Amino acid sequence: MPKHRITDEEALAFHVDPTPGKFEISPTVPMTSQRDLSLAYSPGVAVPCEAIAADPSTAYDYTNKGNLVAVISNGTAVLGLGNLGALGSKPVMEGKAVLFKRFADVNSIDIELDTEDPDEIINAVRLMGPTFGGINLEDIKAPECFIIEQKLKEEMDIPVFHDDQHGTAVICAAGLLNALHLSGKKIEDCKIVLNGAGAAGIACIELIKSMGARHENCIACDTKGVIYQGRTEGMNQWKSAHAVNTELRTLEEAMVGADVFLGVSVKGAVTQDMVKSMADNPVIFAMANPDPEITPEEAHEVRNDAIVATGRSDYPNQVNNVLGFPYLFRGALDIHARAINDEMKIACAQALAKLAREDVPDEVAMAYGKKLSFGRDYIIPTPFDPRLIYMIPTAVARAGMDTGVARRPIIDMEGYEQSLKARMDPTASILRGITARARQNQATMIFAEGDDPHVLRAAVQYQRNGYGRALVIGRQDNVRELLETAGLGDAVRELRVVNAANTENLDEYKDFLYGRLQRDGFDRHDVHRLAARDRHVFASLMLQHGHGDGLITGATRKSAYVLDRINHVFDARASDGAVGVTALLVKGRIVLMADTLVHEWPETEDMADIAERAAAVARGLGLEPRVAFVSFSTFGYPKSERAQKLHEAPAILDARGVDFEYDGEMTADVALNPEVMAQYPFCRLSGPANILVVPARHSASISVKMMQELAGATVIGPILSGIDKPIQICSTNSTSNDILNMAVLAAARLGEKK
């Protein structure tokens, strides 16, 4: 599978569009009326203020403290970039904040402190303690990070966690538990070599020792060599704690007979000769970023019995901190913990190790394009495993309660686990599955409108993100000029630009088109003009003749016009079974609206057809279809001729014997709100509908636009379904990212007639 390439221009554009930065703050209470404002601020706010002053623990009840973490840095050790300063670190800290939200529904604020003085940082963070439920320190260089963390742990009564240290240590420990399980070794018997005695390295060795590794069996190395008792050069109190009585002086010497290598150092620090000298079934965690101390290929070339992990996502066994910190804090916050202690970190590591040994859900396998099972290439769970959100925090919370750091222990652990499952955004896994299928299919995608900069940017992103090959319809000079203007001049060499006027296949295309249109009043001249000059028709002809695998169009012309052009080549009319289905993603829910593109005013039979096509799209998204025929009437009341076809459509599906849930007619609140639906116990839907079939295209369009503008819904589509080839039509206000999303849907063959 191709590796992804992200350009500087793409990275900058991602941080600019649609608004600068990566997150915003939204209220969780109504703020519309004078009463709302009076309750939110003066005078109503006085009541919780007095309650908290009387009992500080109620701050967790009346404020957001219990689900708010500060991500704090001074920018002295930013990723692999070094000392960029406080402001230079802000994009990374914003990124950490959105990871907290994405993976564990933890609200987070980034705070960049413009000082390198540890005392100033300690004082600033300590003074902010009342605001937050936890503190995540990030990208602060050693040894200052040790001083800052230790002092804050002593002075604050909320969890303080330096992720560069302990996050890496937790994931490393989880992987090591499973690697030793596979190799049949016990941690207390293993000779362990660490290279890199900075923040992460020392945290790794300390956690592993607390899990049973013996001090005398752990050899730590830095740039000066082995850290041995009596060494004075380049030493500090944290390194000294791990000095051992040994005659070994170099990493090369230490590696002889080693069972485990842990690297948090630099590229190339480990040679193949060092790997050869290790014990049987060696465990190699080469975690230097962006390039490991030794690559898995290099290690396996000399030792096929080695178990290798790195920090990179393009190799198996990624040591990824996102597996740890969101869930550690989730569990700690939910028990109102005073700290995150070693027992909680060990519980996290053990839960991660246990999860990797269990069967992997199909949705995870689909997202990664391969079946995963516990073994040498799968000792650490993947970051997108949906079980992480409810398995890891529960283990952390239990450990926190057992060790006495919980202010508010959880009584109903089963109920807690269910509440964690409810926090998971199902739309993320759905979109991830589509993306994985697209990458696996490696479709050659035809982008019909090569004279539009948004389309060109999407085509470049499609190819550079590893989805497949991008073909652009246009003139070479024009495409080059537009790409250069967009700052993507280097992409001209990557894209294949196809000019309709001089393609070698034009005669073949015209013959086919004349055969389709000759009895519809088109002569040879008309057909030539369509095939050679209309990019929508030409692109459709390319797709029809197998010169591409999918088609993206519509960004520059209205959908009705584009659909008419496509119909010259394909059978894409309502009478042919074509349907447009729009996906609405809002507040962790996904609802499909149909028909939003093809049927102007569907009749009863059409309603049933639309439901079937929409159900097929839903299953393509990984949803189990639940169709509601939506009207202003609910199950016959009020009676109206306008609602009659929606009332009759379920009977047609009954006769067809379809294999999905459906019912109607009903109002939108009955379809979507389980409490309202419960008032109709005879309703055949087992839960809220995820497909709404509406009376006509105009009502579908109005509904979609209102959800987009008033509710902030993310809109994907309309997804054109029921055609022999993958064709997707964008809207004329599409951004490059919208166009890319439609290309991914086409590449995943969503909506294609089976």
What pLDDT score was predicted for residue 427? 66
Q: Are strands 470-473 and 283-286 parallel, antiparallel or unpaired?
A: unpaired
Percent of the chain beyond pLDDT 70? Answer: 97
Alpha-carbon dihedral of residues 108, 92, 421, 318, nearest 10 degrees?
A: -150
Rounded to whole angstroms, the Cα distance separating 646 from 664 reads: 7
Residue 626 has pLDDT above 80, yes or no: yes
Question: For residues 596 and 539, which has the higher predicted lDDT (pLDDT)?
Answer: 539
Q: pLDDT grade, residue 636 (50/70/90)?
A: confident
Q: Say which range, 73-82, 209-218, 326-335, 350-359, has the weakest mean pLDDT.
A: 73-82
Higher-pLDDT residue of 10 and 504 is 504
Closest CA to 195 of 268, 118, 108: 268
Question: Does 322 score more than 80 pLDDT?
Answer: yes
Residue 576 has a pLDDT of: 82
As a whole number, mean pLDDT of residues 411-419 equals 92
Q: How far apart are the first and last CA of the chain?
A: 26
Say if residues 591 and 672 touch (Cβ distance below 8 Å): yes
Q: Rounded CA gap, 70 and 135, in Å?
A: 5
Q: What is the mean pLDDT of residues 617-625?
A: 86
List the structure tokens of 147: 């001083």
The answer to whether the CB of 591 falls within 8 A of the CB of 575 is: no
What's the rounded Cα separation, in Å, for the pair 195 and 266? Answer: 9
**Residue type at position 300:** H
Give the Cβ contact number of residue 244 at 10 Å: 15
Q: Which of 90, 96, 239, 725 is catalytic?
A: 96
d(CA 161, CA 171): 14
> Which residue in 153, 92, 143, 87 sits closest to 115, CA to CA?
87
Check if 41 is active-site.
yes
Q: How far is CA 123 from CA 89, 128, 643, 724, in A?
A: 20, 9, 67, 66
pLDDT band at residue 2 using 50, 70 and 90 as cut-offs: very low
Q: How far apart are CA 421 and CA 414, in angstroms?
A: 11
d(CA 748, CA 369): 12
Mean pLDDT taken over the chain: 91
Q: In the predicted model, what is the mean pLDDT of residues 680-686?
A: 94
Phi, psi of 530 (to 5 degrees): -65, -50
User: How far apart are alpha carbons 418 and 357 in whole angstroms?
Assistant: 22
pLDDT tens digits for 354-384? 999 998 876 676 556 667 889 999 999 988 8
Asked if 317 and 306 touch (Cβ cutoff 8 Å), the reply is: no
Mean pLDDT calculated for residue range 645-656:
93
In the structure, what pLDDT confidence band is assigned to residue 676 with cuts at 50, 70 and 90?
very high
User: 172 near 287, Cβ under 8 Å?
Assistant: yes
Spatial separation of the C-alpha atoms in residues 358 and 55, rounded to whole Å: 44
Average pLDDT over residues 666-671: 94
Separation between Cα atoms, residue 183 and residue 281, nearest integer Å:
6
Instruction: Inform me whether the pLDDT recorded for 1 exceeds 50.
Output: no
CA distance 129 to 142: 23
Residue 6: helix, strand or coil by DSSP?
A: coil
The beta-strand segments (E) located in 288-431 are 307-310
User: Cα separation of 576 and 312, whole Å?
Assistant: 48
Q: Prior bond to 43 cis, omega within 30?
A: yes
Does the reported pTM lie above 0.85?
no
CA torsion through residues 705, 711, 717, 720, sign: negative
Greater confidence (310 vs 13) lies with 310
Lowest-confidence pick of 86-100, 104-118, 310-324, 490-504: 490-504
Residue 428 is predicted with a pLDDT of 67
Q: Are 138 and 96 in contact (CB under 8 A)?
A: yes
Query: Is the CB of residue 148 less than 8 Å from the CB of residue 301?
Result: no
Whole-angstrom Cα distance, residue 690 to residue 618?
A: 8
Are the C-beta atoms of residues 316 and 295 closer than 8 Å to each other?
A: no
**Which of 613, 583, 585 lies closest to 717, judged by CA?**
583
| Mean pLDDT calculated for residue range 72-97 | 94
**pLDDT at position 383, please?**
86
Retrieve residue 565's tokens.
């052009």
- Residue 718's pLDDT band (cuts 50, 70, 90): confident
Backbone torsion region of residue 180, taken as left when φ is above 0, otherwise alpha when ψ lies between -120 and 50, otherwise beta: alpha
